[in-house]
A and B are shown apart, each in its own frame.
Chain A
């Protein structure tokens, strides 16, 4: 049973991540996973339910990595930078998975959108922790704006395939993220900081 479910999940990510949600039929997923309709129905009620369940699993797997990095000791700026590099590393590792996670969730219906909103709320929490180390008078809205910036960049880079050249982009995002909380000098430093060795090494 678990092996059957895993085959469906893998086929869902590979097909939707390469062809798109609307362009992928349930029949194509069944064929790629080598399961029949009864087999699929043992796990999921519909293509949409399958998408949301698999999206949640992938997002949770990424979320564990990000949360672990963010929970480590150290200044907020270093922790958020480590999360940023982990995110880039995760997205660069599998482009079909990236398109599935970042782009196709926009096409997969309102429930998928609601799950994406929850994931973004988690990003907002991490960014908003910058206020604890800031002398500026900022509200949570700053973190919401910055999460919007991160997601727009991810969507555009995932669509163009440029996520593979993401190091420079990531430094710019760190510049934008750090600037409201820690000021211009700290932000400018971010434009020349290399990835932490423990992430990419």
Chain B
């Protein structure tokens, strides 16, 4: 399902085919050359967009990259949290989020690399937006603290740590140019990491053999 046009702004294909081509070109070039190696001339040439049209919409390459990033994370956020909001209980909510996220990543490998690697060096504003969506994911992990049997001394830092572990696993695979593999293989490992601090080794091990949901709600 595609993102509503008002949230994707200039990158919705419903609003502008040039916007969709710029988004694709931005991602390709940033992955080929790094964000600092992309200039407006190159970007416009790759996208087949007139520079005058580009500068009517964007302040420059940095602005364009940030808005591509925002469009990407809006799609991610919508896909993942629609599934979470339609699911009851923890860790079921976390599991369904993990599958929704893994399938999103599988279907958009280039934009995922762009979001996780190229945008790491994109400055404070991009970091602030990253923080906003990361906070929602950490909130979701942090629900583990309220589960019966979770150790009393745990705070939010545990959820931050779990998120960091998972992020590290994914970023290393992407940096190495590796395919993350099918969600059905990846998600149980991530769930094992996420569940263990809260529910213990036995519950974490069970995650390794839980079948994926037949369909992702939302």
Contacts and interface: CB of A to CB of B under 8 A. Distances in A.
Interface of A: 20, 22-23, 106-110, 113, 141, 144-153, 156, 159, 168-169, 171-173, 175-176, 179-180, 183-184, 188, 191-192
Contacts of B164: 148-153
B34 A171 contact: no
Contacts, number: 96
Say what secondary structure dominates the interface of chain A: helix
A147 B168 contact: yes
Interface of B: 34, 36, 120-121, 123-124, 127, 131, 151, 153-155, 157-158, 160-169, 171-172, 193, 196-197, 200-201
Contacts of A144: 168-169, 172
Given A144-B169, A172-B161, A109 B121 contact: yes
28 contacts: A22-B124, A107-B121, A107-B124, A109-B36, A109-B121, A144-B168, A144-B169, A145-B165, A145-B166, A145-B193, A147-B168, A148-B166, A148-B167, A149-B161, A149-B162, A152-B160, A152-B164, A153-B164, A156-B131, A171-B153, A172-B157, A175-B154, A176-B158, A179-B196, A180-B196, A191-B151, A191-B154, A192-B153
Say what secondary structure dominates the interface of chain B: helix
B158 A110 contact: no
B155 A169 contact: yes
A113 to B, nearest CB: 7
Given A20-B124, A168-B157, A175-B158, A110 B168 contact: no
Contact of A106 (B121, B161, B162, B172): B121
A169 B123 CA distance: 26
Contacts of B157: 153, 168-169, 172-173
Given A109-B121, A110-B121, A171-B153, A152 B200 contact: no
Contact of B34 (A20, A108, A110): A110
Contacts of A147: 168
A103 B23 CA distance: 28
A107 B123 contact: yes
Contact of B151 (A20, A156, A175): A175
Nearest to B196: A179
Contacts of B155: 168-169, 172
